[in-house]
Amino acid sequence: MPQAVTPREIRRRIRSIRNTAQITRAMEMVAASKMRRAQQQVVSARPYAERIRLMIGDLAAMTSPAEEIRTFPLLAKRPIRRVQVILITSDRGLAGALNTNLIRRAVEFMTHERPEPLENFDIVAVGRKGRDWLVRYGWPMVAEFTRLSDNPTIEAIRPIAEIATTDFINGKVDAVFVIYMHFINTLRQEPRVLQLLPIEPPEEVGEIADYIFEPSPAAVLQALLPRFIEVQLYRALLEAVASEHSARMVAMRNATQNALDLVDELTLTYNKARQAQITREVSEIAAGANALGSVQA
């Protein structure tokens, strides 16, 4: 134990660590309530998304592959030369390994899983942490969206969907992927890669096969496809928000615990140092008295 530390210095450190613990605990609570809201949003977005999925699955099953390419450009599969990656990270830090894991997954995807050379990627950064990282390491970024809200609306993702759709239809890119943090539960989130374009129609259920369509099945499918892209992006963003807040909540809970452990440890050190000081003082007085006594004798 370093002797140089005085009890007063230790006391000051204890106080400052207690303050830190108070802040991290407050951040934990804020993150917990934001996480609950985000989870609720995921749930309330579900009915719409499921219905759109089902209708697309059934309608796509009614169209032939030739028609697909001619009349539904969003379904068109073509040889992939250029790829767009939408990387969803958080704006703020203090969320544990969340953004590190996301970026690692993105790098792995672009360098190992896709055969295209790196210069054939266009990255759209959603979230400041991902944007900063891409800029710092010189990755090919074509657009950035930061400061999206903690309770995003569908409106907020429309410009992102717009870029993906336009670039895909114009043939600038041949596929679009979204990389986001999938929310499993409070303790577990996992980076996922989702293919946004071309749209892979979901399994057909055959539920709407004998409906009347106005104006026509093709027109309905045509209108559904852009909605499907929005729904998928929106869902990915909501999951990302829920993941961010739960990661931050857990990180802050650990930080609070660590701070309190440190306070305990320092309190012990403080008591020892105080006792040592008292002992020293007593022995100094005793020694002084002794010295005086021996002079008198």
In 57-206 the beta strands, taken as DSSP E runs, fall at 83-88, 121-126, 141-145, 175-183, 189-197
How many CA atoms lie less than 13 Å away from 144 in the CB half-sphere?
Answer: 17
> Which two tokens mark 82?
């250029």
Q: How many CA atoms lie within 13 A of 106 on its CB side?
A: 30
Binders in 221-240 for other proteins, by CB under 8 A: 223-224, 227, 230-231, 234
Which range of residues in 3-11, 77-85, 120-128, 213-221 is near other proteins by CB under 8 A? 213-221
The CB-of-112 to other proteins minimum distance in angstroms stands at 34
CA distance 134 to 130: 6
Which residues, including other chains, have CB under 8 Å from residue 43's CB and lie 6 or more apart?
none
Q: Is the peptide bond before 191 cis (omega within 30 degrees of 0)?
A: no
We find the least distance from the C-beta atom of residue 153 to other proteins, in angstroms, to be 6
Taking the least distance from each CB to other proteins, the nearer of 121 and 145 is 145
Residue 48 or residue 278: which is nearer to other proteins going by CB? 48
What's the closest the beta carbon of residue 66 comes to other proteins, in angstroms?
24
The rounded distance, in Å, linking the Cα atoms of 106 and 111 is: 9
What is the number of other CB atoms lying within 10 angstroms of the CB of residue 224? 20
**Could you give the CA distance from residue 168 to residue 173 in angstroms, rounded to a whole number?**
5
Question: Which residue's CB is nearer to other proteins, number 6 or number 44?
Answer: 44
Closest to other proteins by CB, 36 vs 51, is 51
Contact between 229 and 141 (Cβ < 8 Å): no
Single-letter code of the amino acid located at 18: R
Which of the residues 173 through 212 are near other proteins (CB under 8 A)? 208, 210-212
CB of 55 to other proteins, least distance (A): 7
Residues 25-64 contacting other proteins, CB under 8 A: 41, 44-45, 47-49, 51-52, 55
Nearer to other proteins, 73 or 226 (CB): 226
Residue 219 contacts other proteins per CB under 8 A? yes
In the complex, what is the shortest distance from the CB of residue 215 to other proteins, in angstroms, rounded to a whole number?
Answer: 6
Return the number of the residue (207 or 281) whose C-beta is nearest other proteins.
207
CB nearer to other proteins: pick between 6 and 48: 48
With CB under 8 A as the contact rule, the residue among 154, 218, 260, 262 that binds other proteins is: 154
CA–CA distance from 160 to each of 85, 124, 167, 257, 272 (Å)? 11, 8, 11, 39, 60
Number of residues that bind other proteins (CB under 8 A): 26
Give contact residues for other proteins (rule: CB under 8 A). Answer: 41, 44-45, 47-49, 51-52, 55, 153-154, 208, 210-215, 219-220, 223-224, 227, 230-231, 234
